[in-house]
Chains A and B, each alone.
Chain A
Amino acid sequence: MDPVVEVTDLVVDRGRRRVLHGISCTVGSGSVTGLLGPSGSGKSTLMRAVVGVQTVRSGQVRVFGQPAGAPQLRRTVGYLTQAPSVYADLTVRENARYFAALYGLPAADADRAVADVGLADAAGQLVADLSGGQRSRASLACALVGRPELVVLDEPTVGQDPVLRAELWARFHALAAAGTTLLVSSHVMDEAGRCDRLLLIRDGRLVADDTPAAVRAAAGTDDLDEAFLRLIRDRQPTEPSRGADR
């Protein structure tokens, strides 16, 4: 089966700094792919390139066979930015209904999306009055409301308590089981184990692209945190440049 996302030799500069140094990777259909790496490693930049809002220096990103950001993709790709991007001066429900309307979907779909992220009780509250974790779930509801075939989520579980995090991950897997493709970034390694496939990124370079089990095996440890450290250490002598910031 063709991959949903196909990144080839992607180079991105932000300002004068090179943020991605020729990344190539794919994201398979109906799976949860984790994009992991330390803060500032280039995760958000790669995700922005996949949804087509990032200016790229060279290389290409194709999504469902189209260039990233193509007009036909705007109905099929859902995007959650890292900082919650919802209207603080609207209620949760009003936000979700607006984004639903952009996809031509009725209010009932919006209300369901709000309930799905556990915000049914807070639906009538202004986003400005919510806690940080609730705010990012409101933002998540708006990313999922259009029932996209590819969902790109930049750190969706930051600031959520463990129970909610488990619920959100269960929801991601349910979506994948129904055929949705998910690309989810995180800098928390214990979330890596929940992914079908991992892309480990550091300083704008891909360190590993494999299943969690294979990453563990390659590093010779069961602990993904430790595995990531070992993979980085192994590469260190051949990768002297550490300039990249994002």
Chain B
Amino acid sequence: MNPRILAATVGRVLRQLRHDRRTVALLVVVPALLLTLLYYMYGDQPATGGQPALFDRVALVMLGVFPFVIMFLVTSIAMLRERTSGTLERLLTTPLGRLDLLFGYGIAFGLAAAVQATVASAVAYWLFDLSTAGSPALVIAIAVLDALLGVALGLLCSAFARTEFQAVQFMPVVVIPQLLLCGLFVARDEMAGWLEAVSNVLPLSYAVSALTEVGAYPEPTTTLWRDLTVVAGAVVAALVLAAATLRRRSG
């Protein structure tokens, strides 16, 4: 990797984003609107016997899930465009390295995700009185890590799509199973054994577990650090695999 080329690529991706004001607006506003929806769905269900209120539990998980889903979609389309427009082919004839490109996307969309997560968390904590035992800053940091997971998987999946139609179809394939099995709908230790086993290898499960830990404990726990390590490891693994799919030569 070359820091100068990496920085230029981050700047380029952010500039593309800046010219697309509607996308920026959607990125910032949509999670907040969805949280509003959740608030009115669950808002009057009180806390019961040691369990946090349903809104607190669901909203906290969603603060991590929204950036994951949105960044997965945005990135897989952005990377597919790069492939279909010929810019990728040209970039690969320049001094740019494959990791410069992939980390460039990761950092640029990670920055966008940080803004998104900050706005969404601000809305959740101030407007809807979300309460967590742990620090909101930690929640935002986990949300950004989840966004990076979405970016990395999006970059990887775009290699297997030839058209934008195919790329969006990867969302139900890659994202929804992770969402169903992450422990939000059914606690993971109450699932059938094989489902729990599947859930154990899906990175989003650890992302959700990390957020739940922040919700329950004032200080970072060992489980939290384990979860974050797993998610970060999945991000790096997906980026390395994505680099392997970026072939300089094609048919």
- B85:A85 contact, CB within 8 angstroms: yes
- A89:B94 contact, CB within 8 angstroms: no
Q: Determine whether A115 belongs to the interface, using a CB cutoff of 8 Å to chain B.
A: no
Nearest residue, chain A, Cβ from B92: A53
- B251:A104 contact, CB within 8 angstroms: no
Contacts known (A52-B248, A69-B249, A103-B94); A88 close to B85, Cβ less than 8 A? yes
Report the Cα distance A99→B93, complex, angstroms: 11
Which of A87, A91, A103 makes the CB contact (< 8 A) with B95?
A103
Determine the chain B residues whose CB is within 8 A of the CB of A104 once the complex forms.
4, 95
Nearest residue, chain B, Cβ from A126: B19
What is the 8 Å Cβ interface bit string for chain B, positions 1-29, against chain A (1 contact, 0 not)?
A: 00011001101100110011000000000
Determine the chain B residues whose CB is within 8 A of the CB of A89 once the complex forms.
16, 19-20
- B94:A53 contact, CB within 8 angstroms: no
- B93:A77 contact, CB within 8 angstroms: yes
- A85:B4 contact, CB within 8 angstroms: no
* A/B interface sample: 28 pairs, CB < 8 A: A48-B89, A52-B249, A53-B249, A54-B249, A54-B250, A55-B249, A55-B250, A69-B248, A74-B95, A77-B93, A79-B93, A83-B85, A85-B86, A85-B90, A86-B87, A87-B12, A87-B16, A87-B87, A90-B15, A90-B16, A94-B15, A102-B5, A102-B91, A102-B94, A102-B95, A103-B94, A103-B95, A104-B4
Which of A14, A51, A74, A90 makes the CB contact (< 8 A) with B251?
A14
Report the Cα distance A89→B12, complex, angstroms: 10
Give the 7 A-B residue pairs with the shortest CB-CB distance, closest first.
A85-B86, A101-B8, A81-B86, A98-B12, A79-B93, A55-B249, A102-B94
Q: Determine whether A15 belongs to the interface, using a CB cutoff of 8 Å to chain B.
A: yes
Nearest residue, chain B, Cβ from A13: B251
Nearest residue, chain A, Cβ from B95: A74
Determine the chain A residues whose CB is within 8 A of the CB of B95 once the complex forms.
74-75, 102-104
- B250:A53 contact, CB within 8 angstroms: yes
Q: Which among B8, B12, B86, B90 has the greatest number of chain A C-beta atoms within 10 A?
A: B90
B contacts, CB < 8 Å to A: 4-5, 8-9, 11-12, 15-16, 19-20, 85-87, 89-96, 248-251
Determine the chain B residues whose CB is within 8 A of the CB of A126 once the complex forms.
19
- B89:A101 contact, CB within 8 angstroms: no
Within A98-155, the residues touching B (CB, 8 Å) are: 98-99, 101-104, 126, 142-143, 146
Determine the chain B residues whose CB is within 8 A of the CB of A77 once the complex forms.
93
- A99:B251 contact, CB within 8 angstroms: no
Which of A15, A52, A84, A88 makes the CB contact (< 8 A) with B93?
A52
Q: How far is the CB of A34 from chain B (nearest CB, A)?
A: 21
Q: How far is the CB of B213 from chain A (nearest CB, A)?
A: 39
Report the Cα distance A168→B4, complex, angstroms: 31
8 further interface pairs, Cβ-Cβ under 8 Å (given A74-B93, A146-B94): A53-B249, A55-B249, A55-B251, A85-B85, A87-B87, A88-B85, A94-B15, A102-B96
Q: Which among A75, A77, A102, A103 has the greatest number of chain B C-beta atoms within 10 A?
A: A102
Determine the chain B residues whose CB is within 8 A of the CB of A48 once the complex forms.
89
Q: How far is the CB of B164 from chain A (nearest CB, A)?
A: 14
Report the Cα distance A53→B4, complex, angstroms: 24
Determine the chain B residues whose CB is within 8 A of the CB of A69 once the complex forms.
93, 248-249
Which of A86, A87, A101 makes the CB contact (< 8 A) with B4?
A101
Q: Which among A69, A83, A99, A146 has the greatest number of chain B C-beta atoms within 10 A?
A: A99
Q: How far is the CB of A127 from chain B (nearest CB, A)?
A: 10
Determine the chain B residues whose CB is within 8 A of the CB of A88 once the complex forms.
85
- A51:B93 contact, CB within 8 angstroms: yes
Q: Which among A52, A89, A94, A126 has the greatest number of chain B C-beta atoms within 10 A?
A: A89
- A102:B20 contact, CB within 8 angstroms: no
